[in-house]
């Protein structure tokens, strides 16, 4: 699961969306309003033949009928939903429709490829102050599917430093 996924507002341009997806090597992005409520999703499939990159992404995004799941959805449940609806991204929302996470088809594949990898508890630890973890002797890894905005970054040799 991606905690705090990268999002764009509906008024962003298609050029901005393409740049963001290229930069982070992602094939789609949830679209949220200024309060964080999910209003749509934009994927490569939606813009495959677009030619006017100055138009807002609201002209291209899927707004009605976005398939979502509630927080607490398991990967097995997410896999069933993704398969049933033939989609690759499943936004996780709270009861008011605010985006809280994202499960992708790649998350499911990684779970199948690496069944003994760390579970949800690592996400909770990841969100705690990192220096306390290092001082406690914990090993810290950054899964490629975990995108969390933080005021610090990890370096392979030296550990945690301020960003």
- pLDDT for 96-129, tens place per residue? 999 999 999 888 888 788 877 765 444 444 444 5
Whether residue 60 is contained in a domain is answered as yes
Whether residue 162 is contained in a domain is answered as no
E strand or H helix at 11:
none
Spatial separation of the C-alpha atoms in residues 101 and 151, rounded to whole Å: 20
In contact, 90 and 102? CB cutoff 8 Å = yes
| Each residue's pLDDT tens digit, 37-83 | 999 999 998 988 999 999 999 999 999 999 999 998 988 899 999 99
Q: Are 79 and 133 within one domain?
A: no
Torsion angle of C-alpha atoms 18, 111, 148, 157, degrees rounded to 10: -110
Q: Are 16 and 67 within one domain?
A: yes
Whether residue 161 is contained in a domain is answered as no
| Domain hosting residue 126, numbered range | 120-155
What is the pLDDT at residue 149? 53
- How many structural domains is the chain composed of? 2
Q: Are 82 and 124 within one domain?
A: no
Q: Are 89 and 73 within one domain?
A: yes
CA-closest candidate to residue 8, choices 58, 55, 50: 58
Phi and psi (nearest 5°) for 78? -65, -40
Q: Are 73 and 133 within one domain?
A: no
Q: Are 109 and 144 within one domain?
A: no
Whether residue 47 is contained in a domain is answered as yes
**3-state DSSP of 115-144:** CCCCCHHHHHHHCCCHHHHHHCCCCCCCCC
């Amino acid at each position: 699961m991606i905690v705090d996924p990268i999002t764009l507002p509906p008024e962003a341009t298609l050029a901005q969306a393409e740049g963001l997806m290229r930069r982070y090597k992602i094939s789609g992005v949830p679209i949220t309003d200024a309060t964080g409520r999910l209003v749509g999703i934009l994927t490569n499939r939606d813009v495959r033949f677009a030619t006017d990159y100055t138009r807002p992404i609201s002209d291209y995004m899927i707004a009605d009928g976005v398939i979502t799941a509630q927080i607490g959805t398991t990967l097995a449940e997410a896999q069933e939903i993704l398969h049933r609806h033939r989609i690759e991204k499943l936004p996780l929302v709270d009861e008011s429709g605010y985006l809280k996470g994202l499960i992708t088809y790649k998350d499911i594949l990684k779970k199948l490829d690496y069944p003994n990898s760390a579970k949800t508890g690592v996400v909770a630890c990841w969100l705690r102050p990192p220096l306390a973890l290092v001082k406690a002797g914990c090993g810290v890894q950054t899964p490629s599917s975990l995108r969390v905005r933080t005021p610090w970054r990890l370096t392979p040799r030296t550990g945690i430093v301020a960003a």
